[in-house]
Structures are given as structure tokens and as C-alpha cells.
């Protein structure tokens, strides 16, 4: 079955032949172009290569053999099918025609049915060949893509950091190089092991439940899954592995595929992190972690015990909600200048609990960096120093009271000495006034009394200062 449209180029130096052939072919649904000589035929074919060419042999200027050779020599027209046309009385060299690139010939005068049958046959062969070439090209592309994917998969398996192992009937039938790094055994050693020997590679404490898991896979109860367990390396070291298992088809048979990831470092890090978390949770100091924007992400239980605020209440808040108003703003300014410069800050805060009580704490704050060296968080370790602060206040009050007591004792001694001097002076002046009165020197008596009055007033002032403190 020919698929239309089909383009046919008819080449003949006789106009009647061109008209007759064109009419016959157009009635069959073909698209027809005409050429009256060789050069015209070459020009038409090169501009728009036809599917088939009916080529007369005997033509002026350039015969059909030369036209055919020129068409087959040109990559634009070499795939066009060429059928020679020759009159019965003309000399026709079949060998030369086929050597030039023709596939058939038709004798003139035309037998319409024969001509159409030959054209139809060769168009069918051409289209079948084209489809076959297209299919071959597609197949080649598919094979190339498959080879590419197979090579990519091979490289992925061979150079993967994850170990890959395939088991059939309890024996290793394939393993990649990463398995050797994880287990310490070569691939050849693993493939030589019996099922019972492979089980001995699993840590004794994990062997029973891993065996049950494997049996569930083999029985079809589980088709895929993940677990973590320990294995024993060839040198006796314990290695934690994360294993992904799946039932697969391998070379037409059911097999069990295992993917191993060495998670020993992660397990050790998790254990260290768990210890650190327990230390933080049980710390007698308050611990707070914020992001770079001061948003609180974590507070430990001691913080809750001290302030009354739970982690849920503090998460997303800022430490400013603890402010009492007694810490000077300059302290906070210095704090942020220090932290953003990448340094640790130490100092005291006077804060307020959830119930409104005032408390003091000694705080050490340090920045936390990511792997790019950028500050992402801050961690604060706080020690409650309220009792120490209260003790310091009591000591200061006691020191002030002692100083005041000492001062009063000093004043009392000075007052005692002053009063004694005044009394002695009064006694002396009183004796003098007695003598002056006896001598009748009244004016001098008045002068002495004035001096006594002044001394008395000074003494009253000293006594008032001692008693009232003013």
C-alpha cells in the first residue's frame, strides 16, 4: 500500500510522451513534474528531489545514462528511484543502465498496466525501504541510548559510595567495589561464602532479627524495606549500616538486592549528641539558644524552673520579654557589638520572672557558625546569682551600719572631750566672775558672761549634730 503524496519526475524529449504519461500518473493520484532534457531534469530534481524518476534514455545534449550517473552522484538526489524508458527499436544497454543506478526499465510504446505495476512495485519497495531505514535508525538510537544508560548504570554501581549486593539462594552473585570498603572483604571472598558464613558477618546482637527479616523477604511476605543494624568487618571492627532491601528479577530469576550505607559516623555523632542533650537538659545552669534575629529556639528545663516560662511559651519570642528595666541600655549595646564581631560576651542581667519577681544572672553568650563561617545562632549559658547579689547587698548594708556606728563613737568621744573642756572653762570663768563682782568690776563680768553664752551655744550645736546626725 503506497502512502501518498508521491512525487514523480518524468523526463522525455517528446512532448506527446510527457503529456500522456503525466495524465496517466495524475489519474492515479501522483504529483507529477515534467522535464524535456537532462539539464532541466537535474535542476528540477536537485531543487526538490522526487520519489521516483521515469528517465528516457535517448535525449539530445545528455542521454539518460549520464543523467542517472549525475543524479546518483549527488547526495540530494541519490535516493530517488530511477526507471529507464526506452523504445523497442532503440539500442538499450541493460548492464550500463543498472550500473548507472537504474532499478528497472519500461519499453515504449507504453503498456499502461505494466507501467503502473512497475511504478507501484518500486514505490512500494522504496517506501518499505524508507520505513525500514527509519526503524533501523530508531533501533540504532534506542540501542545507543540503552548502551548509554547501561554504561551510566554500570558507572553508577561501580563508583557509588553505597554498597550493592545481590543474593540468590543465600549466596552473593554480585557486589560492587563499595561493598569491599564497607565489609572489608573482597567481592571474591563474599561470593565464595556459604549462607551460614554470610550470617556471621552480622553482629551477634542483631543476627536473630535480621535473619527473620531476610526470611520474610524470601517468603514473599515483604518486597522492600529498610533497617539499620551492625556488621562485623573482616578486621573485627563493628560497623553500623543502613540497609535497603528489595526482591528483584535478576537474569530471569528472583533475587534479593541489598544496598548498604555506612552510617557508623552518624551513629557515633547521634550518641555524642544524645549525651550532650542529656547534659544540657540536666544542667544546673539556664541555657538558651536563639537564631541570628534573637528568635528563641530552645531553653532547657532549668530555665523553666528559674523563670516559670516553658519552652513552648518562649519559642519564637525574644529574650527582651525577660527585661526588668534595671539593666542599663549601654549593656545591651555592648553585648551586640561584641557578638556581631564574632566574640564571646560575659556580663550580668537583672531580669524578671513570669511571676514578676526580680532575679540576677551571670550570662556567657557565644555565636554559633555554619560551615561557611556565617553566624547563624547564639547560645547563652546563664547562672542565677540572685542570692549572691542579695548577700552583697546585706554585706554593704552591714558595712554602712558599722561605718555609721564607728562615726557615732568618734563623735561621742569628741563630744565628751568638748563638754569636759567647756565645763572646765565654765568653772574657771565662774571663779573669775566671783572675783570681779567682789572687786566691783561689773563690765568685765558682762563680757565674761557673753563668752560663756557663745561657748554654750557651740556646745549645743555639737550635741544636736551627734544626736540628730545633722
User: In the chain, what are the domain boundaries?
Assistant: 7-133, 160-267, 283-384, 405-468
Considering only the C-alpha atoms of the chain, give the largest distance between any 2 of them, rounded to a whole number of Å: 200
Position 26 pLDDT exceeds 90: yes
What pLDDT is attached to residue 450? Answer: 74
Residues above pLDDT 90, as percent of the chain = 61
What pLDDT is attached to residue 422? Answer: 65
Residue with cell string 557558625: 369
- pLDDT of 397-412, one tens digit each? 788 877 776 777 776 6
Virtual torsion, Cα 396, 397, 402, 408, nearest 10 deg: 130
Angle at 383 between CA 377 and CA 388, to 5 degrees: 155
Rounded CA separation 118/123 (Å): 8
Q: Which CATH superfamily is domain 283-384 in?
A: PAS domain (3.30.450.20)
- pLDDT of 263-291, one tens digit each? 999 999 998 888 888 888 889 899 999 99
- pLDDT of 49-100, one tens digit each? 999 999 999 998 899 999 999 999 999 999 999 999 987 556 568 888 899 9
What pLDDT is attached to residue 47? Answer: 96
pLDDT-based confidence at residue 349 (cuts at 50, 70, 90): very high
Rounded CA separation 10/19 (Å): 10
What pLDDT is attached to residue 470? Answer: 47
pLDDT-based confidence at residue 415 (cuts at 50, 70, 90): low
Which cell numbers hold the place of 27?
Answer: 489519474
Position 469 pLDDT exceeds 60: no
Task: Supply the angle between the helices 15-27 and 112-159 in degrees, to the nearest 10.
Answer: 60
**Contact status, residue 376 vs residue 368, Cβ threshold 8 Å:** yes
> Taking Cα atoms as reference points, which of 271, 306, 285 lies closest to residue 379?
285
**Contact status, residue 283 vs residue 300, Cβ threshold 8 Å:** yes
Burial of 382 (0-12, 13-18, 19+ CB in 10 A): buried
| CB atoms closer than 10 angstroms to residue 76 | 12
Residues above pLDDT 70, as percent of the chain = 93
Same fold: 160-267 with 283-384: yes
Lowest mean pLDDT among 210-214, 276-280, 462-466: 462-466
Q: Which CATH superfamily is domain 160-267 in?
A: PAS domain (3.30.450.20)
**Contact status, residue 316 vs residue 310, Cβ threshold 8 Å:** no
**Contact status, residue 244 vs residue 259, Cβ threshold 8 Å:** yes
Lowest mean pLDDT among 143-157, 164-178, 241-255: 143-157
Query: CB-based contacts of 298: which residues, under 8 Å, 6+ apart?
Result: 287, 288, 289, 311, 315
CATH class of 7-133: alpha beta
User: How far is CA 184 from each of CA 49, 228, 257, 374, 413, rounded to the nearest angstrom?
Assistant: 67, 18, 19, 39, 95
Pairing label, strands 296-299, 286-291: antiparallel
> Taking Cα atoms as reference points, which of 233, 258, 247 lies closest to residue 164?
258
Position 333 pLDDT exceeds 60: yes
What pLDDT is attached to residue 88? Answer: 57
- pLDDT of 117-141, one tens digit each? 999 999 999 999 989 999 999 999 9
Please compute the mean of the pLDDT values over residues 94-110 and round it to a whole number: 89
- pLDDT of 164-209, one tens digit each? 999 998 899 999 999 999 999 999 999 999 999 999 999 999 999 9
Lowest mean pLDDT among 246-255, 267-276, 291-300: 246-255
**Contact status, residue 29 vs residue 7, Cβ threshold 8 Å:** no
What pLDDT is attached to residue 454? Answer: 74
Return left, alpha or beta for 8; rule: phi > 0 is left, psi -120 to 50 is alpha, else beta. Answer: beta
Average pLDDT, whole number, for the chain? 88
Which cell numbers hold the place of 427?
Answer: 568653772
What pLDDT is attached to residue 148? Answer: 83
> Taking Cα atoms as reference points, which of 444, 414, 450 lies closest to residue 432?
444
pLDDT-based confidence at residue 393 (cuts at 50, 70, 90): confident
Amino acid at each position: 500500500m503506497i502512502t501518498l503524496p508521491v512525487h514523480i519526475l518524468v523526463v522525455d524529449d517528446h512532448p506527446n510522451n510527457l503529456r500522456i504519461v503525466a495524465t496517466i500518473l495524475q489519474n492515479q493520484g501522483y504529483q507529477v513534474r515534467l522535464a524535456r532534457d537532462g539539464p532541466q531534469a537535474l535542476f528540477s530534481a536537485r531543487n526538490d528531489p522526487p520519489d521516483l524518476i521515469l528517465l528516457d534514455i535517448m535525449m539530445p545534449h545528455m542521454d539518460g545514462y549520464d543523467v542517472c550517473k549525475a543524479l546518483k552522484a549527488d547526495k540530494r538526489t541519490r535516493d530517488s528511484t530511477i526507471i529507464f524508458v526506452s523504445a523497442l527499436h532503440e539500442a538499450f544497454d541493460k548492464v550500463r543502465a543498472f550500473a548507472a543506478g537504474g532499478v528497472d526499465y519500461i519499453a515504449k510504446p507504453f503498456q499502461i498496466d505494466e507501467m503502473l505495476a512497475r511504478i507501484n512495485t518500486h514505490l512500494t519497495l522504496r517506501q518499505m525501504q524508507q520505513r525500514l531505514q527509519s526503524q533501523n535508525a530508531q533501533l540504532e538510537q534506542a540501542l545507543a541510548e540503552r548502551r548509554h544508560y547501561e554504561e551510566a548504570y554500570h558507572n553508577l554501581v561501580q563508583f557509588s559510595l553505597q554498597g550493592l549486593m545481590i543474593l540468590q539462594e543465600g549466596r552473593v552473585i554480585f557486589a560492587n567495589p563499595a561493598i569491599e570498603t564497607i565489609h572489608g572483604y573482597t567481592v571474591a571472598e563474599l561470593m565464595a561464602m556459604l549462607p551460614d558464613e554470610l550470617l556471621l558477618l552480622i553482629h551477634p546482637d542483631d543476627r536473630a532479627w535480621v535473619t527473620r527479616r531476610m526470611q520474610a523477604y524470601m517468603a514473599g511476605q515483604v518486597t522492600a524495606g529498610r533497617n539499620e543494624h551492625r556488621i562485623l568487618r573482616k578486621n573485627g571492627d563493628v560497623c553500623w549500616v543502613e540497609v535497603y532491601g528489595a526482591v528483584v528479577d535478576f537474569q530471569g530469576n528472583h533475587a534479593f538486592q541489598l544496598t548498604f550505607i555506612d552510617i557508623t559516623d552518624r551513629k557515633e555523632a547521634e550518641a555524642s549528641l544524645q549525651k550532650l542533650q542529656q547534659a544540657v537538659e540536666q544542667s544546673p545552669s539556664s541555657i538558651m539558644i536563639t537564631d541570628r534575629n534573637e528568635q528563641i529556639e530552645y531553653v532547657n528545663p532549668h530555665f523553666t524552673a528559674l523563670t516559670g516560662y516553658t519552652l513552648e511559651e518562649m519559642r519564637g519570642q525574644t529574650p527582651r520579654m525577660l527585661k526588668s528595666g534595671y539593666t542599663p541600655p549601654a549593656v545591651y549595646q555592648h553585648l551586640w557589638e561584641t557578638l556581631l564581631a564574632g566574640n564571646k560576651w560575659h556580663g550580668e542581667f537583672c531580669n524578671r520572672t513570669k511571676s514578676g519577681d526580680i532575679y540576677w544572672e551571670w550570662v556567657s553568650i557565644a555565636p554559633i557558625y555554619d560551615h561557611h563561617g556565617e553566624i547563624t545562632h547564639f547560645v547563652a549559658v546563664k547562672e542565677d546569682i540572685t542570692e549572691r547579689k542579695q548577700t552583697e547587698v546585706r554585706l554593704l548594708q552591714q558595712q554602712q551600719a558599722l561605718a555609721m556606728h564607728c562615726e557615732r563613737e568618734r563623735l561621742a568621744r569628741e563630744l565628751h572631750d568638748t563638754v569636759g573642756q567647756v565645763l572646765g572653762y565654765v568653772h574657771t570663768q565662774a571663779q573669775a566672775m566671783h572675783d570681779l563682782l567682789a572687786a566691783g568690776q561689773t563690765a568685765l563680768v558682762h563680757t565674761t558672761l557673753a563668752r560663756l553664752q557663745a561657748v554654750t551655744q557651740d556646745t549645743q550645736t555639737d550635741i544636736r549634730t551627734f544626736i540628730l546626725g545633722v
